[in-house]
Amino acid sequence: MRKTQLLLALAAIGFASSAVATNGYFSHGNGIKAKGMGGAATAMTVDTFGGANNPATMVWVGDRIDFGADLFSPNRESSMTIGGGGPTFTSESDSNFFVVPEFGYNKMLNSNMSLGVSVYGNGGMNTDYPANIPPGGNLLGGPSQLGVDLMQLMIAPTLSYKVNDQHSIGVSPLLAYQRFQGEGLQAFGVNNPGYDNSTGLGLRIGWLGKITEKVSVGAAYASKMKMSKMDKYAGLFAEQGDFDIPSNWNIGIAVQAMPQVTIAFDYQRINYSDVASINNPSANIYTCPGVPATCLGGANGPGFGWSDVDAWKLGAEYQYSKNLTLRAGLNHGDNPISAADVTFNILAPGLIENHITLGFTYVTASGGELTMSYMHAFSNDVTGTHLFAGAGGPNPPAGTTNTIKMHQDAIGIAYGWKM
Q: What is the CATH number of the domain that holds 321?
A: 2.40.160.60
What does the mean pLDDT of the chain come to?
A: 93
The total number of structural domains in the chain stands at 1
pLDDT at 294 over 80: yes
The whole model's pTM is what? 0.94
14, 72, 121, 264, 412 from 99: Cα distances, Å: 8, 6, 11, 27, 9
**pLDDT tens by residue, 362-384:** 999 999 999 999 999 999 999 99
Question: pLDDT class for 134, splitting at 50, 70, 90?
Answer: confident
**Amino acid present at 80:** M
The reported pLDDT for the residue numbered 133 is: 87
The reported pLDDT for the residue numbered 135 is: 80
| Nearby residues of 229 by Cβ (< 8 Å), 6 or more positions away | 198, 239, 240, 241, 242
Mean pLDDT of 192-215: 96
Mean pLDDT of 221-230: 97
pLDDT at 12 over 60: no
CB 301, CB 325: distance < 8 Å: no
Query: Domain residues for 165?
Result: 2-418
Mean pLDDT of 193-198: 95
| DSSP output for 51-108 | TTS-GGGGGGT-SEEEEEEEEEEEEEEEEEE-TTT--EEEEE-S---EEEEEEEEEEE
What is the C-alpha to C-alpha distance for residues 95 and 153, in angstroms, rounded to an integer? Answer: 19
**pLDDT tens by residue, 78-133:** 999 999 999 999 999 987 888 889 999 999 999 999 999 999 987 666 889 999 88
Coil, strand, or helix at residue 187?
A: helix
Residues pairing with 381 in the sheet: 405
pLDDT at 19 over 60: no
pLDDT at 265 over 80: yes
The reported pLDDT for the residue numbered 189 is: 87
- Stronger pLDDT, 3 or 163, i.e. the higher one: 163
What is the C-alpha to C-alpha distance for residues 411 and 158, in angstroms, rounded to an integer? Answer: 27
The reported pLDDT for the residue numbered 197 is: 95
**pLDDT tens by residue, 353-362:** 999 999 999 9
Mean pLDDT of 40-63: 98
